[in-house]
Structure 1
Amino acid sequence: MSLRRHLAALVTAMALALPAAAQDCAGRNLFDAMPPARLAELRGATEDIPNHKGLFWQAEKDGRRVLLLGTYHFADPRHDLTMARFGPEIDRASALLVEAGPEEEAKLAEAMTADPTLILDATGPTLPERLDAQEWKALSQALDERGLPAVIASRLRPWYVAVMLGISPCMKRIVETRGDAGGLDHLLIARAQAAQVPVRALEPWDTVFSLFEGMSAEEEEDMIRAAMPAAQYADDYATTLADAYFAGDSWMIWEFGRFDAYDNSGLTRAQVDAQMRLAQEKLMDQRNESWIEPIEKAAGQAAGEGKAVVAGFGALHLPGRHGVLRLLEQRGWTISPVTVERTGDGR
């Protein structure tokens, strides 16, 4: 979830040049069909994660207040209730902080158009050369379903391939049709713009291209292998992700990805765990730590105006020992959950 806002812009930039996949948007919740013992394992792996339950939080310190909203980066009618609850908070806020604002997304799309080598490796070995024949066959089919024909897919950078595998063909078509992902982030930004509340990015527009620097060839290839199992049932995975998010159980999806890779990636448990640690460090932990200073600075400026700040970013950035909530707590902030009432199924 943490990179999806950046990736939505990437997918949008490529949409005009690539054909859309022909697949119905339909999925089932994989947790509903999961054996009770495996579901218990997932819940057990999640229980020890600090602040793992909940999407919306408040942080307070010395008269400063920040409303922290964990977002889901794709369109869903269940966002309406969230906006009804927090729209007024944005209207009276000093600023809205997001991963990437409109200016950053525009720069990203412009760079993608001007320099395809940002996601394409024109000189190094191709993916068919780096993977075995069976792996390449499965990968090329999965990418073709996402509108990436083999001739292009063979030259894609591994980090881009791995994250594209996490976006279902259904989600990709929605982005192409709408022109944006339509997720909670965009709804928050639109509300802020309508209220003339400043929108500020928490990180530079090109962050996505620097996250995976320094990885070995083996690490890059294993990143693809670890992502492949979920790609086989991507629409089911997308449905499960959305339902888990709206139930406030986002970290369950993170652990589901781990256990699914244990069973189906062909990697050892140690290799999967290494991949998960690497992904968490690069996609979440490092970025979380870089966000704390701008959050605190914005909150201080807002307090001087007698206002609060609203910060909206991917829900997986909130929990964990290196999550934004724990990092703020370690700096003396008081953290408390904010609820949005939903029916039993999260709708």
Structure 2
Amino acid sequence: MSMLAAAVLSAGVLVGPMAQAAQAECQGVNLLDTMPEAERRALIAATDAVPYPRGHLWRATRGDSVVHLVGTYHLDDPRHDETMARITPLLEAAETILVEAGPLEQAAMTAELARDPSLMVITEGPTLREALSDEEWTLLASAMRERGMPPFMVSKMRPWYVSMLLALPACDLSSLAGGKGGLDGMVIDFAQSQDKPIVALESHKTIFRIFEGMGLEEQLGMIRSSLAMEPFAADYAVTLADAYFDGESRLIWELTRQKTLALPGQDPAQVEADFARMEQVLMTDRNRAWIPVIEGAAAKGPAVAAFGALHLPGETGVLRLMEEAGFTLERLPM
């Protein structure tokens, strides 16, 4: 599991159709429970170094504008039922419900991929089989077979898309095969059942814009990083989910950074540069684009905005940006 895994699970991007595999629920150990005390202290210190590092439910007010911000986790988990019970009164009172991508965006993504398969498939240049070493390809082929995808198909996929698939452990793909769509999907289902307006925070084209500026080597690097973490994927999946339900949004990102730095052969300067790059494109740029959308909805009446929890904390997180826009923030118990 790589830095991309943390972002996919807690920040989220609209990725369209994913591998359809029926795997068992992830069975692993929570790495925080076995972490040496010195590492734990360093992890907590890094987490606490950013604004608003914890909490997944916030009320933001500015004059008559009120919006509740809900940090979500994009995979299914029975613990979401308790969360839904907590936020249902807020959803019922909302004039508008905002999500990263609503039903219209999901449909638009599917239609666009059907019209233009080259968005996801390599049409010129080396295939992944040709671009990776024999050892790397063998590891990738095995990892993708576990996710229900034949290697000959994977070889022709664009590396950014393969990175997205690798970011989700094979044991977690059951959440994507006929599941509810995580807390985001449950919020959307509720809004539809109550005929509440659903507003998308971003276009379905966001995923293409995120990766279009990355070169082949940068995308291959994401694949290599994920493959290095593959043997421990189930443990990371359990750890990240538990951290989310403990309200530890930033901890997820810092844990992934810590474990990536500990991998053999890593250049610390390069790791930090990679994390800064991914935080910019996966969180910061999107956060800034979302603020006017949230403000516009809140000006029309009470609103709820539900999006990946990793978007909440940090110097350029949604909470700090809302504060800079003149909103008063209050953390609420989840």
- Structure 2 match to 1:336: 330
Q: 2-side partners of 1:209 and 1:150: how far apart? A: 23
- Structure 2 match to 1:305: none
- Structure 2 match to 1:88: 89
Once the two structures are superposed, residues 43-70 of structure 1 have per-residue CA deviations (whole angstroms, 9 ceiling, x without a partner) of: 1211101101111111110111110000
Q: 2-side partners of 1:63 and 1:151: how far apart? A: 56
Once the two structures are superposed, residues 251-275 of structure 1 have per-residue CA deviations (whole angstroms, 9 ceiling, x without a partner) of: 2121122122222263311111111
Structure 1 stretch displaced more, 330-339 or 135-144: 135-144
Structure 1 stretch displaced more, 45-54 or 143-152: 143-152
- Relative to structure 1, is the Cα distance of residues 329 and 265 closer, same or farther in structure 2, using a 3 angstrom cutoff? farther
Amino acid at match of 1:280: E
TM-score, normalised via structure 2 length = 0.92
Contact kept, 8 Å, 1:3 with 1:283, in 2: the verdict is: no
- Structure 2 match to 1:345: none
SS in 2 for 1:31: helix
Amino acid at match of 1:157: R
Matches within 5 A, 1:303-318: 308-318=302-312
- Relative to structure 1, is the Cα distance of residues 265 and 7 closer, same or farther in structure 2, using a 3 angstrom cutoff? farther
Once the two structures are superposed, residues 106-142 of structure 1 have per-residue CA deviations (whole angstroms, 9 ceiling, x without a partner) of: 1212223343322221212122332222222222222
Matches within 5 A, 1:115-126: 115-126=116-127
Contact kept, 8 Å, 1:288 with 1:323, in 2: the verdict is: yes
- Structure 2 match to 1:298: 297
TM-score, normalised via structure 1 length = 0.88
SS in 1 for 2:67: strand
- Structure 2 match to 1:101: 102
Q: 2-side partners of 1:249 and 1:24: how far apart? A: 22
- Structure 2 match to 1:143: 144
Kindly state the Cα deviation for residue 22 of structure 1 after the two structures are TM-superposed: 5.8
Amino acid at match of 1:225: R
- Relative to structure 1, is the Cα distance of residues 297 and 112 closer, same or farther in structure 2, using a 3 angstrom cutoff? same
- Structure 2 match to 1:248: 247
SS in 2 for 1:264: coil
Kindly state the Cα deviation for residue 210 of structure 1 after the two structures are TM-superposed: 1.4
- Structure 1 match to 2:203: 204
Kindly state the Cα deviation for residue 190 of structure 1 after the two structures are TM-superposed: 1.4
Q: Does 1:321 align with 2:330?
A: no
Structure 1 stretch displaced more, 308-317 or 220-229: 220-229
User: Which is bigger in relative contact order (C-alpha 8 A, separation at least 6)?
Assistant: 2
- Relative to structure 1, is the Cα distance of residues 199 and 2 closer, same or farther in structure 2, using a 3 angstrom cutoff? farther
- Structure 1 match to 2:281: 282
SS in 2 for 1:212: helix
SS in 2 for 1:275: helix
- Structure 2 match to 1:54: 55
Q: 2-side partners of 1:22 and 1:69: how far apart? A: 29
Q: 1-side partners of 2:65 and 2:23: how far apart? A: 50
Contact kept, 8 Å, 1:229 with 1:260, in 2: the verdict is: no
Q: Does 1:273 align with 2:252?
A: no
Kindly state the Cα deviation for residue 292 of structure 1 after the two structures are TM-superposed: 0.4
Contact kept, 8 Å, 1:55 with 1:69, in 2: the verdict is: yes
Count of residues in Structure 1 that have an aligned counterpart in Structure 2: 327
- Structure 1 match to 2:17: 10
Structure 1 stretch displaced more, 244-253 or 104-113: 104-113
Matches within 5 A, 1:204-243: 204-243=203-242
Contact kept, 8 Å, 1:60 with 1:333, in 2: the verdict is: yes
Structure 1 stretch displaced more, 142-151 or 60-69: 142-151
Once the two structures are superposed, residues 250-303 of structure 1 have per-residue CA deviations (whole angstroms, 9 ceiling, x without a partner) of: 22121122122222263311111111111111111000000000110111111x
Gapped regions of structure 1 (runs ≥ 5): 303-307, 341-347
- Relative to structure 1, is the Cα distance of residues 106 and 158 closer, same or farther in structure 2, using a 3 angstrom cutoff? same
- Structure 2 match to 1:161: 162
**CA RMSD across the alignment:** 1.9
SS in 1 for 2:256: helix
Contact kept, 8 Å, 2:70 with 2:307, in 1: the verdict is: yes
Gapped regions of structure 2 (runs ≥ 5): 1-5
Contact kept, 8 Å, 1:42 with 1:255, in 2: the verdict is: yes
Contact kept, 8 Å, 2:249 with 2:313, in 1: the verdict is: no
- Structure 2 match to 1:32: 33
SS in 1 for 2:109: helix
